[in-house]
Amino acid sequence: MRELKILAIVIFFTLVTYWGVEPYAHSQMHKHVESDNFEYKDLKEVEKGDVAKGKDLVMSNCTACHAIKVANMPAPMDPVTSGSSYGVNPPDLSNMGAILDPKYLAAFIADPATASNVAHKFTPESGRSHPMPGYNWMPKEDIAAMVAYLQSIAPKEITPKEVYVSACGRCHAARYDGKVLGQKWTQIGQKPRFKYEKDSLAFDIKLLEYEDSLKKYMGKLPPDLSIIIRARDEHFLKTFIENPQTQLPGTAMPRVGLSEEGFEKVMQHLEDIGDPSKPTRDSLGVYFLIYMVIFTIFAVLWKKSVWRKLH
Amino acid sequence: MAHFSDAKPFSEQWLDERLAVKTLKRVLSQEYWIPKNINFLWAMGMILAVTFGLLLISGIFLLMYYKPDVNLAFDSVNYTIMQEVGYGWLFRHIHGVAASVVFLIIYIHMFTGIYYGSYKKGREMIWISGMLLFVTFSAEAFSGYMLPWGQMSYWAGMVITNLFSLGGLELNGLVEWIRGDYVPGDAFLSRFFMLHVLLMPLIIIGVIVLHFGTLRIPHVNNQEGEEIDFDVEAEKYLSGDTKNAKIIRFQWDFLAKDFMVMAFFLTFFFYLVFYHFDFAMDPVNFDPADGLKTPPHIYPEWYFLWSYEILRPFSKNIGLMAFGFAQVIFMLLPFLDRSPNAKPAHTRGLFKVWFWALLVDMIVLSIMGKVPPEGVFNTIGLVAALTFIGLWIALPFITMAEKKA
Amino acid sequence: MSNTNRRDFLGMSFAAVAAVGGVTALVGMKRAWDPLPSVKAAGTTVVDTSTAEANVMYTEKWRGKPVFILKKTKEMVAKASNNEKARDVIVNGEHFLVCIGLCTHLGCIPAYRPESENFLCACHGAEYDQSAINTKAPAPLPMPIPPFTVDGNKIILGKAGDTYNKMKEAGVLGSTPLDPKA
């Protein structure tokens, strides 16, 4: 069966080349980073807190900067003004209790810069401090109470997009996230459909002002995440979101503190906006391959019948 | 004055009087005799034609929506085509995967020709037109890769056009002229769009016609390199002794086998299109082009890696000379091989060693071209590049020593 | 089955299977040619009539075409014929002309003349009355009324509401000739 031997040789050399040029070469380019599986082993456990006490504390300490939509607390300033005051727009706290790991949430309230691994940006020499003050002067039960309150008010059903907006959306735009390319997710909210060019430009100017503040705060503009799901593999995104310092040491991106469930919803959203054809691709592929197998069977049968008279 | 009968319009007789269709049919299909002693590797030409067809058709639908402007290109591909156009994602995946797989088939096709001596004794023009196709397909692939305007598009464009400064000659003006700007920008993108969509495809189609033309008179080779008397064998076949004749008809004998191999190929191809395409659509190119940020690793597509690696181990000028050597040397194969035998490599002694050494060397060069240029990889790369040059210099001497079989 | 017959049969079957693949490919290609979702999403335009002045012609854009919005004065409404009144779009008690601003002769944009309360097309001299019904050749038909819905003091172009559908049944949209005086 000489032809089979030839086929085996061709396949062998093709696979060797593929192995060397893809899995092997990529393993040499990017050293493997272990995933923490969102366990936050470096953070301390949080005790159960008093929800009622937590409510008082949150209302008196947090609402000066943070909106809480589910508790009917509006944002104290519009996003652009917030951005120019703090560098970034403080997030609405409605979802935080559900999408963030409670250990992280407690650690963050106590010391934001350390918990989010950006203390290297806010050294005494830099002359800058984290825009959110730390609450480690509070007793532990008080912080636990605030965490408990935030957990109690978080909605039971949060969509992937809402998680993205809460956890990522104030720094990362997503121009593919919208009904059409113009009505995209921006750091100051979803851009609406404008009838007049002037109104659209006015929105764009506000956005640019916000991005300027953000650039100054972060060092450079955080990238648009529209197609990040195809630009990085899942393992990279997992380890990066868990702790950005493991993949890009010295980066200004904070550790966001998502729980594993929160992370999966963010990944779902990234897939929805960056690779929406994936479900169709996976299912249609099956039909294509079934057809090709049938096609091949007929091709083989016909060839054999034609060559019967030739052999 | 040609003779015109009362034949019914558009009947075979009527068309034959005006276009010689009967002669064409006889010469190009019914009595285009192909040796029977062939294996599935002989179908690679048809696979290339089919893949080229897939590229053309998928390209047509991409062309309907692509915008050759540095501000619009990336989103026209990754949003409009991938997310808005009906089955746009499928056309793009087909186009990207086919562009990569076509080179796998080209290399298999090329090395089949080298193995069986199908570039000698009357077949030199087939080989040269084939190598011209390799060059034109390479230009087509490179220009196509620029179009999505991702990070790899930009930086590959930057690096490869920099080569034209010709090292020590420092022809920076030439580089800027090629780009139409100081750096790859809008002018650069538009002209490569023109090359990719119009000029190169036209040239490719012309060279394919030439390639088919150069094949007709010398006839297709066979697995033993046997010289067949086509007239004698044709008589056997036409008299009904198809089992003992050493030849088969192009249509439908050869085509039936071609289609069968093509069916297996397309099954494999569509598996890649739907489920395994990262090798052809590199993630780095899903970052929009940024002239102020170089990706940590820049590399060409896999089929250019061996060539890229020959450039790397040497100093600037030597590297360029080695690179130029590598591009041209394959073209000269029919004239460097001094042996009188057009036979398969396993009957040609040292040439057999030469063949496998060349294949392994080019694979090693490809892998080294992709890994970061550090440590032991540099050494292996240098050895592989020197081996490549050495093998080609040795070829005339090895083959001169072969006796007539 | 003799060898030749079997060969031909298998050849035909193979061709049929291949044809199925070919047709599927053509279906995919047809879908790629379809209008994009963003084009279909741009199918409606909202017109706010609250600041419209009477006898002043406003031009809106809808699906790439000009749409004339003309608020009629009380006198214009009083002297309107039945056909003219039938074409009025009523928003908050005010009468409006809403029509596609392209001459039905060869597609130029007619100009509105407030002094004579009618339209003149500069290309070949066609004229239309206050309800865009053609009054002078070479215009063959009235300027058509696009699908619309009235919502408060907004007119949504591109969405067919009840009034539009009734006008369609009455045959006053402009696809058939109308007598401007009837």
pLDDT mean values, one per 10 residues, chain A (311 residues): 92 96 92 88 90 94 93 91 89 94 94 92 85 92 94 94 95 92 91 90 95 91 95 93 91 92 96 95 96 96 91 81
Q: What share of chain B is helix, strand, coil (3-state, %, to 5)?
A: 70, 0, 30
Cβ-contact B387, B357 below 8 angstroms: yes
Q: How many CA atoms, within 13 angstroms, populate the side-chain half-sphere of residue B396? A: 6
Kindly report the average pLDDT of chain B as a whole number. Answer: 93
Cβ separation C32–B252 shorter than 8 A: no
In the block, residue with structure tokens 């394959």: B330
Contacting residues of C for A180, CB less than 8 Å apart: 37-38, 41-42
In a domain, B383, yes or no: yes
Q: Which of B56, B87, B248, B259 to mutate to test the interface with C (most CBs of C within 10 A)?
A: B87
- pLDDT digits over B221-237, tens only? 999 988 888 889 999 89
Cβ separation A298–C10 shorter than 8 A: yes
- Taking CA atoms, B307 is separated from A75, B334, B362, B365, B369, in Å, by 59, 21, 9, 8, 8
Min CA distance, B60 vs chain C (Å)? 10
Residue C127 φ/ψ, nearest 5 degrees: -130, 150
Rounded to whole angstroms, the Cα distance separating C13 from C11 reads: 5
Same domain, residue pair A252 and A299: no
Residue A258 three-state SS: strand
Same domain, residue pair A133 and A7: no
Q: How many CA atoms, within 13 angstroms, populate the side-chain half-sphere of residue C178? A: 26
Same domain, residue pair B152 and B216: yes
Distance of CA C15 to the CA centre of its chain: 46
DSSP letter for B347, please: G
Burial status of residue B405 (CB atoms within 10 A of its CB: 0-12, 13-18, 19 or more): exposed
Same domain, residue pair B104 and B246: yes
In the block, residue with structure tokens 């923490």: A36
Rounded to whole angstroms, the Cα distance separating B103 from B48 reads: 9
Q: What residue type is assigned to position B156 of the chain?
A: A
The pLDDT score that the predictor gives to residue C6 is 82
Rounded to whole angstroms, the Cα distance separating B184 from B151 reads: 12
Min CA distance, B79 vs chain C (Å)? 11
Instruction: Pick the residue from chain C with its C-alpha nearest to A301.
Output: C10
- Model confidence at C148, pLDDT cuts 50, 70, 90, reads very high
Residues 6 or more apart in contact with residue B127 via CB below 8 angstroms = B113, B118, B119, B333, B334
> Percent of chain B having pLDDT more than 70?
100
Residue A152 φ/ψ, nearest 5 degrees: -75, -30
Q: Is the pLDDT of residue B392 over 70?
A: yes
Concatenated DSSP letters for B275-308?
A: H--TTTS-GGGGSBP-TT---S-----GGGHHHH
Could you give the number of structural domains in chain A? 3
- pLDDT digits over C55-81, tens only? 999 999 999 899 999 999 999 999 999
In the block, residue with structure tokens 């401090």: A129
Residue B382 φ/ψ, nearest 5 degrees: -65, -45
**Is A294 within 8 Å of chain C by CB?**
yes
**Touching chains, B (3+ CB pairs < 8 A):** A, C
For residues C163-170, give the mean pLDDT: 93
Rounded to whole angstroms, the Cα distance separating B194 from B188 reads: 10
User: For residue B256, which of A37, A159, C14 has the smallest C-alpha distance?
Assistant: C14
Same domain, residue pair B247 and B344: no
Same domain, residue pair B387 and B247: no
**Touching chains, C (3+ CB pairs < 8 A):** A, B
Same domain, residue pair B224 and B357: no
Torsion angle defined by CA atoms of residues A171, A175, A178 and A182, in that order, rounded to the nearest 10 degrees? 120
Provide the H-helix boundaries in B20-87. Answer: 21-25, 44-63, 73-75
The pLDDT score that the predictor gives to residue C1 is 58
Min CA distance, A146 vs chain B (Å)? 40
Same domain, residue pair B371 and B263: no
Rounded to whole angstroms, the Cα distance separating A129 from B174 reads: 51
Residues 6 or more apart in contact with residue A247 via CB below 8 angstroms = A33, A236, A239, A240
In a domain, A26, yes or no: yes
Q: Is the pLDDT of residue B277 over 90?
A: yes
Same domain, residue pair A296 and A177: no
Q: Which of C13, C23, C38 to mutate to test the interface with A (most CBs of A within 10 A)?
A: C38
Cβ separation C6–A305 shorter than 8 A: yes
Rounded to whole angstroms, the Cα distance separating A73 from B90 reads: 47
Same domain, residue pair A185 and A134: yes
Same domain, residue pair A166 and A225: yes
Residue C59 three-state SS: strand
Taking each helix axis from N to C terminus, what angle separates B44-63 and B88-116, rounded to the nearest 10 degrees? 150
Instruction: Pick the residue from chain A with its C-alpha nearest to B285.
Output: A231
Same domain, residue pair A250 and A310: no
Q: In what order do the strands lie in the sheet with C148-151?
A: C45-48, C154-157, C148-151
Min CA distance, B80 vs chain C (Å)? 8
The pLDDT score that the predictor gives to residue A309 is 86
Closest CB to B270 among A7, A28, A292: A292
Question: Which of the two residues, B192 and A32, has the higher pLDDT score?
Answer: B192
Domain that holds residue B180: 29-298
The alpha carbons of chain C give a radius of gyration, in whole angstroms, of 25
Q: Is the pLDDT of residue C112 over 90?
A: yes
Buried b vs exposed e over C152-173: b needs ≥16 C-beta within 10 Å?
eeebbbbbebeebeebeeeebb
Q: Is the pLDDT of residue B376 over 80?
A: yes
Buried b vs exposed e over A123-135: b needs ≥16 C-beta within 10 Å?
eeeeeeebbbebb
In a domain, B389, yes or no: yes
Residues 6 or more apart in contact with residue A131 via CB below 8 angstroms = A85, A86, A87, A88, A90, A217
- Model confidence at B405, pLDDT cuts 50, 70, 90, reads low
Domain boundary among B258, B273, B298: B298
Domain that holds residue A303: 285-311
Closest CB to B90 among C28, C36, C38: C28
Same domain, residue pair A134 and A264: yes
For residues B98-106, give the mean pLDDT: 97
Same domain, residue pair A140 and A196: yes
The pLDDT score that the predictor gives to residue B360 is 97
Q: Which of C2, C5, C8, C17 to mutate to test the interface with A (most CBs of A within 10 A)?
A: C17
Contacting residues of B for A296, CB less than 8 Å apart: 260, 263-264, 267
**Is B257 within 8 Å of chain A by CB?**
yes
Q: Which two tokens stand for residue A217?
A: 């705060």
- pLDDT digits over B285-341, tens only? 999 999 999 998 889 999 999 999 998 888 888 888 888 888 899 999 999 999 988
Cβ-contact B192, B146 below 8 angstroms: yes
Cβ separation C33–B87 shorter than 8 A: no
**Is A305 within 8 Å of chain C by CB?**
yes
- Taking CA atoms, C88 is separated from A71, C72, C73, C85, in Å, by 49, 9, 12, 5
Rounded to whole angstroms, the Cα distance separating A109 from B68 reads: 49
Closest CB to A230 among B256, B286, B371: B286
In a domain, B159, yes or no: yes
For residues C93-106, give the mean pLDDT: 94
In a domain, B288, yes or no: yes
Contacting residues of C for A179, CB less than 8 Å apart: 37-38, 41
User: For residue A309, which of B252, C174, C53 has the smallest C-alpha distance?
Assistant: B252
Provide the H-helix boundaries in A128-277. Answer: 140-153, 160-167, 197-218, 228-231, 234-242, 260-274
Contacting residues of B for C11, CB less than 8 Å apart: 252
Q: Which long-range contacts (CB under 8 A, 24 or more apart) does A277-285 make?
A: A277/B82, A277/B83, A277/B89, A277/B90, A280/B89, A281/B89, A281/B90, A281/B93, A281/B274, A282/B274, A282/B275, A284/B90, A284/B274, A285/B270, A285/B271, A285/B273, A285/B274, A285/B275
For residues B185-210, give the mean pLDDT: 96
Q: Which of B116, B265, B367 to mutate to test the interface with A (most CBs of A within 10 A)?
A: B367
Same domain, residue pair B61 and B186: yes
Angle formed at CA B143 by CA B141 and CA B149, multiple of 5 degrees: 110
How many residues are recorded in chain B?
A: 405
Buried b vs exposed e over C25-55: b needs ≥16 C-beta within 10 Å?
eeebbeebeeebebeeebeebbbebeebeee
Same domain, residue pair A128 and A263: yes
Torsion angle defined by CA atoms of residues A178, A180, A184 and A189, in that order, rounded to the nearest 10 degrees? -60
- Model confidence at B402, pLDDT cuts 50, 70, 90, reads confident
In the block, residue with structure tokens 């690793």: B297
Cβ separation C28–B86 shorter than 8 A: yes
Same domain, residue pair B62 and B200: yes
Rounded to whole angstroms, the Cα distance separating A67 from A77 reads: 9
Residue C118 three-state SS: strand
Domain boundary among B240, B271, B298: B298
In a domain, A42, yes or no: no
In a domain, A118, yes or no: yes
Q: What residue type is assigned to position C44 of the chain?
A: T
Provide the H-helix boundaries in B330-374. Answer: 333-336, 350-370
Same domain, residue pair B290 and B393: no
The pLDDT score that the predictor gives to residue C40 is 80
Torsion angle defined by CA atoms of residues B282, B288, B293 and B295, in that order, rounded to the nearest 10 degrees? -10
The pLDDT score that the predictor gives to residue A103 is 94
Residue C157 three-state SS: strand
Same domain, residue pair B283 and B333: no
Cβ-contact A16, A117 below 8 angstroms: no
Q: Which of B108, B109, B302 to mutate to test the interface with A (most CBs of A within 10 A)?
A: B302
In the block, residue with structure tokens 């896999």: B302
Read off the CATH number of the domain in which B185 is found. 1.20.810.10
Task: Determine how many CB atoms are found less than 10 A away from the CB of residue B292.
Answer: 5
Is ipTM over 0.90?
yes
Question: Which of the two residues, B404 and B274, has the higher pLDDT score?
Answer: B274
Size of interface B-C (CB pairs under 8 A): 26
Rounded to whole angstroms, the Cα distance separating B368 from B32 reads: 44
Torsion angle defined by CA atoms of residues A145, A151, A154 and A160, in that order, rounded to the nearest 10 degrees? 140
Same domain, residue pair A13 and A113: no
- Model confidence at B163, pLDDT cuts 50, 70, 90, reads confident
Rounded to whole angstroms, the Cα distance separating B6 from B13 reads: 9
Contacting residues of C for B85, CB less than 8 Å apart: 32, 36
In a domain, B118, yes or no: yes
Cβ-contact B285, B151 below 8 angstroms: yes
Q: Identify each DSSP E strand in C72-114 by its residue range.
A: 89-91, 94-100, 111-113
Closest CB to C36 among B84, B87, B259: B84
Same domain, residue pair A208 and A289: no
**Touching chains, A (3+ CB pairs < 8 A):** B, C
Residue C120 three-state SS: strand
Cβ separation B87–C31 shorter than 8 A: yes
For residues B372-401, give the mean pLDDT: 93
Could you give the number of structural domains in chain B? 2
In a domain, B307, yes or no: no
Same domain, residue pair B324 and B278: no
Min CA distance, B282 vs chain A (Å)? 8
Cβ-contact B207, B134 below 8 angstroms: no
In a domain, B2, yes or no: no
Cβ-contact A120, A75 below 8 angstroms: no
Rounded to whole angstroms, the Cα distance separating B269 from B256 reads: 20
In a domain, B89, yes or no: yes
Distance of CA B9 to the CA centre of its chain: 42
Domain boundary among B271, B298, B325: B298
Rounded to whole angstroms, the Cα distance separating A104 from A116 reads: 8
Same domain, residue pair A237 and A133: yes
Distance of CA A274 to the CA centre of its chain: 12
For residues C14-32, give the mean pLDDT: 95
Min CA distance, C28 vs chain B (Å)? 6
Residue C94 φ/ψ, nearest 5 degrees: -95, 145
The pLDDT score that the predictor gives to residue A292 is 97
Rounded to whole angstroms, the Cα distance separating C6 from A302 reads: 9
